[in-house]
């Protein structure tokens, strides 16, 4: 008997009043013209309205920017036409003062007793705080990802990322070779292995801080001679790699000569002496079309680098 009394105590009117006055979510009902016929206090309060009944007969166009209201009206027309709800839709509201508010919104069709659609109703929750945290986490993850890929000293990509990108690039070109013209220069890529000549002598004479400056200068010159598609890596110490997509051996040799010329025209002052230091590098060039796999490509480039050193340095082979 007590259970029946409890049920009768919660009248429909009382339930609606509780929802209207105490729900933190915005809840509303609209007619077929998208005009409000019922709305919650939380909904009204976001517009500075104390009494939700003041919104009756008005629409989103009276409260929201035109673009936002137009999008909402279009969604409601589709819901009424299809008789299908729109669940957990993420909405972005840009206020006139520049503030951005995010909502998770669900909208449903309203049916009369005969099953005819007579409007829509919806519920939305302000998730701005959650989106802010998500964006902060995204930025932090992106920073961590970049840190895992980048050499701290030079700002170039690091050894770990080199092997990752080489594997990815060789896989792409293996697939392309099966479907494309094997004689097309774009169906291969090249690798330049590079060392700074006599780098140990620079460190011994000027100190490791100046040696770090040299590494940064080399990194800057290498990147300045690259196309947007090229990638430069510091493998370790004074060892660098240049990954050149869509580049046959001839194009890689041209690239290497550009690097050598750029270094020759940029002597570096490392102390108060009037004598600048002319930086030179030795390079080894290999093309993927001449190799069976990525490991052989690296081995060939390194072998040719040592050949350059044995031939007197300041050159590529």
Question: Catalytic positions, please?
Answer: 238
Concatenating the DSSP letter of every residue in 198-214 gives: THHHHHHHH-HHHHHHH
Cα separations (Å) of 94 from 66, 98, 124, 140, 305? 11, 6, 16, 24, 57
Which residues fall within 8 angstroms of residue 44, CB to CB, at 6 or more apart? 50, 51, 52, 54, 55
Nearest-10 Cα torsion for 220, 221, 223, 226: 170
d(CA 91, CA 69): 11
Q: DSSP character for 109? A: E
- CB 153, CB 216: distance < 8 Å: yes
Tabulate helix, strand, coil % of the chain (nearest 5). Answer: 50, 25, 30
Q: Give me Rg for the CA atoms of the chain.
A: 33
Say how many CA atoms lie within 13 Å of 256 toward its Cβ.
30
**Does residue 292 sit in helix, strand or coil?**
coil
Q: Could you tell me the maximum CA-CA distance found in the chain, to the nearest angstrom?
A: 104
d(CA 127, CA 249): 54
**Does residue 1 sit in helix, strand or coil?**
coil
Which residues fall within 8 angstroms of residue 233, CB to CB, at 6 or more apart? 151, 156, 157, 158, 159, 161, 162, 240, 241, 242, 243
């Amino acid at each position: 008997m007590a259970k029946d009394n409890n049920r009768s105590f919660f009248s429909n009117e009382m339930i609606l009043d509780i929802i209207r006055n105490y729900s933190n979510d915005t809840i509303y009902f609209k007619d077929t013209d998208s005009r409000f016929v019922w709305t919650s206090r939380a909904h009204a309060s976001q517009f500075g309205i104390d009494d939700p009944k003041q919104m009756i007969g008005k629409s989103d166009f009276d409260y929201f920017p035109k673009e936002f209201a137009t999008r909402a009206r279009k969604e409601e027309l589709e819901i009424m036409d299809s008789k299908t709800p729109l669940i957990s839709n993420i909405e972005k509201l840009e206020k006139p003062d520049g503030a951005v508010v995010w909502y998770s919104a669900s909208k449903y069709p309203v049916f009369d007793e005969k099953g005819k659609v007579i409007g829509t109703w919806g519920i939305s929750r302000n998730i701005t705080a959650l989106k802010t945290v998500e964006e902060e986490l995204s930025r932090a993850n992106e920073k961590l990802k970049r840190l895992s890929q980048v050499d701290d000293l030079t700002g170039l990509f690091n050894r770990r990322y080199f092997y990752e990108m080489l594997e990815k690039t060789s896989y792409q070109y293996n697939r392309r070779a099966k479907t494309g013209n094997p004689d097309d220069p774009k169906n291969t890529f090249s690798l330049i292995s590079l060392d700074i000549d006599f780098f140990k002598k620079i460190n011994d004479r000027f100190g490791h801080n100046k040696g770090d400056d040299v590494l940064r200068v080399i990194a800057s010159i290498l990147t300045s001679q690259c196309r947007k598609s090229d990638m430069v890596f510091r493998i370790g110490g004074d060892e660098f790699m240049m990954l050149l997509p869509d580049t046959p051996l001839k194009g890689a040799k041209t690239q290497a000569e550009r690097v050598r010329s750029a270094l020759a025209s940029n002597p570096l002052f490392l102390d108060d002496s009037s004598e600048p230091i002319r930086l030179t590098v030795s390079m080894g060039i290999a093309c993927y079309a001449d190799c069976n796999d990525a490991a052989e490509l690296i081995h060939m480039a390194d072998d040719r680098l040592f050949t350059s050193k044995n031939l007197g340095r300041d050159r590529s082979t």
